[in-house]
Amino acid sequence: MRDQHQLRDDSPERSILARLILPDQTVEADPLEELHGLAITAGIEVCDELIQRRSRPETSTFLGKGKVEELRLIVERYDADVVIFDNDLSPGQVRNLEKAVNAKVLDRTELILDIFAAGARTHEARLAIELAQLEYSLPRLKRMWTHLSRQAMGVGMRGPGEKQLEVDRRLAQKRIFDLKQELAKVERRREQQVAARKEAPTVSIVGYTNAGKSTLMNALTDAKVLAKDKLFATLDTRTRRWQIPNWGMVLLSDTVGFIRDLPHTLVASFKSTLEETRQADLLLHVADASSPTVFDQISAVYKVLQELGIEEKDTLLVLNKIDAIDNPSVLNRVLDRYPNAVPVSAKSKKGFVSLEEAVGEALGREFYDIEVDVLPGDGKLLAYLESKAEVLSRQYGEQMVTIHARIPAGAMGPIRRDAAAIRPTPGSHHANDGLPSEVA
Ligand SMILES: Nc1nc2c(ncn2[C@@H]2O[C@H](COP(=O)(O)OP(=O)(O)OP(=O)(O)O)[C@@H](O)[C@H]2O)c(=O)[nH]1
Ligand SMILES: [Mg+2]
């Protein structure tokens, strides 16, 4: 006889996907495609799917009575371990459903939290996800206990007493308090670090998960950030120097992707990870133009930005993956709605010249006319000026070389930091819009 439990331990959990669609919801061609992707990312096998359209959720079991029974039969047929809902459920609904279908029930938030928990590598990301998970599970502790006790003692046995529950609740609250304090500390440190690093204008890549943000970052800067056909491949923030031809250097950051209905607790606790984004001079919003749900993805990103309080920033929409579009009308449809968007392919590097121009334009083509006193031995600064600025004259003094140069605003950073003195030439340090930039 086959030892089921032995087999189970090595094989992935088997799941059934479910979604309730309400009348006011716009639905993708395949309403469970994204959840399917999330399940795969979480390492869960998908056996079957179930969809119900309904005017409103059933209060106690979320799905209607008939559908719950249908779900129970599907669970039985596939011997599934878990039902994953694309919706968010109340603790009571989860409890009732688990009882009715005889399997573990996860909602969308729980699944996303699980993926983040498995992928978090940095100290900061781990703190953030632990906090989000605890805040999510606090009101659900009772269900978890019931669940655990059912596993340990079999269905129908009495769960742990209210007293144990109360102890656990207090422990969880204490841990939440500690985590919040620790995260606040990290946030403050991060805020200062990011602010101090203002050696150049900062550009932050944002966008829906899997849109190609990391691929774009790698292609533009030779960074070696992990890019993968997987949801939430990136959970931290990386910053690299990006030399924009004919403009100057900027700091480009790649960060965690967004998704529709991103759990609120998660957004809040990832605040410090998104510090670069909060302080950026410009956002590059990367969207997957080849996706049939590109419009929904774009709106979902704006919604999360709004939640983070950073939607007011200058934003450049970048339509990525144009190499994967066969029919030109697909791209035109997006461009009709977003005429200022820049189409690119991070994969083939198509459209990069337009992207660089658009970024330079957005950051402002401001030039400074400067006089800098440099110590003759400061080879680093001299070399920097040679490469970034147009040097107009050199005057050799007793101890200093005074260099008169014209330099893009974006390249000013290290000069502010290193120079002995800066004297913007009076009246001439404003934008020279008509002039092409000679500095590379
Ligand atoms: N065809 C095509 N595929 C691309 C392009 N850019 C990225 N991809 C693919 O899209 C997938 C996701 O790329 P990533 O760069 O990891 O996407 P991301 O936005 O960083 O995703 P997360 O970090 O998971 O949020 C990978 O399989 C890439 O190879 C592109 O221009 N064209
Ligand atoms: Mg990424």
Q: Annotation-wise, does 347 bind a ligand?
A: yes
Q: How far does residue 301's CA lie from ligand 2's centre (Å)?
A: 15
Residue 309: how many other CB atoms lie within 10 Å: 9
429 — pLDDT class (breaks 50, 70, 90)? very low
156: pLDDT confidence band, cut at 50, 70 and 90?
A: very low
User: For residue 390, is pLDDT > 50?
Assistant: yes
Number of H helices, E strands in the chain: 16, 14
The alpha carbon of 306 and the centre of ligand 2 are apart by a number of angstroms equal to 21
pLDDT of residue 374: 86
Is the separation of the CB atoms in 433 and 391 below 8 Å? no
From ligand 2's centre to the CA of 79, what distance in Å?
35
Token pair listed for 258: 């967004």
Distance, in Å, from the CA atom of 159 to the CA atom of 164, rounded to the nearest integer, reads 10
Share of the chain above pLDDT 90, in %: 46
C-alpha dihedral (365, 371, 375, 376), degrees to nearest 10: 90
The CA 294 to ligand 2 mean position distance, Å, reads 17
Q: In the chain, pLDDT over 70 holds for what percent of residues?
A: 85
Residue 319's contacts (CB-CB under 8 Å, 6 or more residues apart) are 287, 289, 294, 331, 334, 335, 338, 341, 342, 343, 344
Predicted confidence (pLDDT) per residue in 332-363, tens digit? 999 999 999 999 999 999 999 999 999 988 88
402 is in an annotated binding site: no
pLDDT at 265: 79
Quick one: pLDDT at residue 428? 40
Q: What is the pLDDT of residues 59-91, one digit of tens each?
A: 999 999 999 999 999 999 999 999 999 999 998
User: What local confidence, expressed as pLDDT, does residue 153 receive?
Assistant: 45
Ligand 1, atom 2: closest residue by C-alpha: 321
Q: d(Cα 321, Cα 222) in Å, to the nearest integer? A: 19
pLDDT for 436 beyond 70: no
> How many A from CA of 219 to the centre of ligand 1?
11
Distances from the Cα of 246 to the Cαs of 43, 165, 389, in angstroms? Answer: 46, 64, 11
Average pLDDT of the segment spanning 383-400: 83
Please report, for residues 119, 161, 200, the alpha-carbon distance to residue 416 in angstroms, rounded to integers and kept in the order given. Answer: 39, 65, 10
Determine whether the annotation assigns residue 391 to a binding site.
no
Binning pLDDT at 50, 70 and 90, where does residue 297 land? very high
Q: End-to-end CA distance of the chain, in Å?
A: 73
Q: Is 255 annotated as a binding residue?
A: yes
Question: 83: which 2 tokens?
Answer: 């039902």
Confidence of residue 387 (pLDDT cuts 50, 70, 90): confident
pLDDT band per the 50, 70, 90 thresholds, residue 230: confident
Q: What is the mean pLDDT of the chain?
A: 84
Of 121, 228, 262, best ligand 1 pocket probe by most atoms within 8 Å of the beta carbon: 228
Q: Which atom of ligand 1 is nearest to the CA of 211?
A: 19
Q: What is the pTM of this model?
A: 0.77
Q: What is the pLDDT of residue 58?
A: 95
Specify the DSSP class assigned to residue 62.
B
Q: Which of the two residues, 226 and 428, has the higher pLDDT score?
A: 226
Q: Which atom of ligand 1 is nearest to 257's Cα?
A: 25
What pLDDT shows up at residue 397? Answer: 87
Confidence class of residue 272 from pLDDT cuts 50, 70 and 90?
Answer: confident
For residue 66, report the distance from its CA to the centre of ligand 2, in Å.
41
Ligand 1: distance of its center to the CA of 223 in Å?
14
Mutate to test the pocket of ligand 1, among 38, 204, 210 (most ligand atoms within 8 A of CB): 210
For ligand 1, atom 30, the nearest C-alpha belongs to 321
Residue 59 annotated in ligand binding: no
Establish whether 212 is an annotated binding residue: yes
**Any known ligand binding at 435?**
no
More confident residue, 44 or 432: 44
Spell out which residues line ligand 1, taking CB within 6 angstroms: 207, 209-215, 227-234, 257, 320-321, 323-324, 345-347
Q: Assign 275 a pLDDT band (cuts: 50, 70, 90).
A: confident
The atom number, within ligand 1, closest to the CA of 215 reads 15
Least confident of 87-101, 138-152, 192-206, 399-413: 138-152
pLDDT of residue 318: 98
